[in-house]
Amino acid sequence: METPLSAASEIAIATLRERAPQAFDLAAQFKAAGFRLALVGGPVRDSLLGRLGNDLDFTTNARPEDTKKILKKWATDVWDVGIKFGTIGAKKDNVTYEITTYRADSYESDSRKPEVNFGDSIEGDLFRRDFTVNAMAIELTTQTPEFIDPHNGVTDLLKKVLRTPGTPELSFSDDPLRMLRAARFAAQLNFTISDDVMSAMKEMADRLSIISAERIRDEFIKIVMSDNPRLGITILVDTGLCEKFLPEIPKLRLEIDEHHHHKDVYEHTLTVVEQSIALEERLGGPNLVARLAALMHDVGKPKTRALIPGGGVSFHHHEVVGSRMTKERLKKLRFDHDVVEDVSQLVFLHLRFHGYGDGAWTDSAVRRYVRDAGELLTHLHVLTRADCTT
């Protein structure tokens, strides 16, 4: 009877032969030079999920300078992705390759950059990977391709669970950004996170402070642009990670007492994000500005919350306050200037449609609405419609 591992091995190798046969030619170049080469990480996982793309990652015992020499003779284009980190990039036949020397690096307790140490074995390289589903490899320089899975990544892939090769504490100490990657993979792949990994994320959330704003931003964008950003954001909030770089979102969980009632702003916000995504066809497909605007549109409410006699609650001018808060936060996260301006403008305008009562939509009012929205008119329509959750 065929085991899940042997079946996975056959699937992964067959997928690689079909989708990226030139990988075997590349391996032959490394073998001829006396080095080993293996497909590793995400592409191995994706080959098993039937979603192998045109970006392939490899690991090798060749040092970066040797890798570069081999690639210059084989690829149509070669560049340094980060030669000091051991990575060289190349392109051939519309496929992008990144080849990294075996690594065994880690972060110092207060450093924003990893201490790079090259390793001597693929087993050591796989041990330092973030999650078991990314700690699989296909060795291509052996007599026949060899599927390597020392940490039961295939089993975890079948169970759709995220675990770490070693202890999660060790993994997250090596690179705290992996905590955000856990939320990202959960959102992208609809995976669950093991209890020990979730516990470590909660305990080590403060460790995120050593990661640059740019790296946090890039990982957060992947969560927002995933198929299920609600899941990713929920994980970030529940673990305390969101508090470290986007505290405005967990603050939306306003206390609701028995005398003053209003909708749950946090849950409302997540629903608006989902409903905005459902309307994205109007914007030509997945749209970062629209998703960020949906996420941030009510961040001004906690600062403007006021209790009204009779049990009501008001949030006067929360769109003005929220727009200012949004601009400040996105700047801190080093978002592109146009993204910052567009998202904060949508937050500022998100109540404008409701500001006109029956009979108030005069010709001049319509012109003013269109003028103020400008090129963001369709984005504003999407946000306004998505904001109707009750």
Ranges of each domain in the chain? 1-159, 164-245, 257-386
Q: What is the pLDDT of residue 320?
A: 87
Residue 263: band (very low, low, confident or very high) from pLDDT cuts 50, 70, 90: low
Element (H, E) at 17: helix 4-19
Helix (H, G, I), strand (E, B), or coil: what is residue 338? helix
Give Cα separations from 108 to 8, 175, 283, 345 (angstroms). Answer: 37, 9, 44, 40
Please say whether the beta carbons of 136 and 153 come within 8 A.
yes
Which of 3.40.50.300, 3.30.460.10, 3.90.380.10, 3.40.50.2300 is the CATH number of 1-159?
A: 3.30.460.10
Q: What is the dihedral of CA 281, 287, 291, 294, to 10 degrees?
A: -60
Residue 191: DSSP 8-state: -
How many Å is the maximal CA-CA distance in the chain? 82
Nearest one of 56, 61, 97, 55 to 76, comparing CA atoms? 97
Among 183, 176, 243, 185, which Cα is nearest to 212's? Answer: 176
The residue-averaged pLDDT of 149-168 equals 96
The number of beta carbons lying within 10 Å of the beta carbon of residue 92 is 16
DSSP notation for 197-209:
HHHHHHHTGGGGG
Which of 83-92, 105-114, 131-140, 253-262 has the highest mean predicted lDDT (pLDDT)?
131-140
Contact 28, 70 (CB under 8 A): no
CA neighbor of 201 nearest in space, from 178, 221, 230: 178
The H or E element containing residue 24 is: helix 22-32
Q: Which residue has the tokens 């192998």?
A: 52
CA distance 154 to 149: 7
Tell me whether the CATH fold assigned to 1-159 matches the one assigned to 164-245.
no
48: number of CA atoms within 13 Å, CB side?
Answer: 28
Q: Is the pLDDT of residue 226 over 80?
A: yes
Look at residue 357 and tell me whether its pLDDT is greater than 60: no
Over residues 327-337, mean pLDDT: 98
Give the strand pairing for 192-193 and 161-162.
parallel
pLDDT for 372: 84
Share of the chain above pLDDT 70, in %: 89
- The answer to whether 211 and 245 are in contact (CB under 8 A) is no
- The whole-angstrom separation of Cα 166 and Cα 162 is 12
Q: Please tell me what DSSP assigns to residue 103.
A: B
Q: Please give the average per-residue pLDDT across 175-180, as a whole number.
A: 97
> What residue has token string 């979102």?
249
Q: Which CATH class is domain 164-245?
A: mainly alpha
Give the relative orientation of helices 195-203 and 178-189 as an angle to the nearest 10 degrees: 140
Taking 90 as the threshold, does the pLDDT of residue 134 lie above it?
yes
- The packing angle between helices 229-239 and 178-189, to 10°, is 150
pLDDT for the residue numbered 1: 38
**C-alpha span between 156 and 174 (Å, rounded):** 22
Query: Residue 359 — pLDDT band, cuts 50, 70, 90?
Result: low
Q: How far is CA 225 from the centre of its chain?
A: 8
Tokens 């978002």 label which residue? 335
Give the 3-state secondary structure of residue 40. Answer: strand
Beta carbons within 10 angstroms of residue 358's beta carbon: 5
pLDDT for the residue numbered 354: 72
CB distance 164 to 140 below 8 Å: no
Banded model confidence at residue 260, pLDDT cuts 50, 70, 90: very low
Put residue 50 in one of left, alpha, beta given phi > 0 → left and psi -120 to 50 → alpha: left
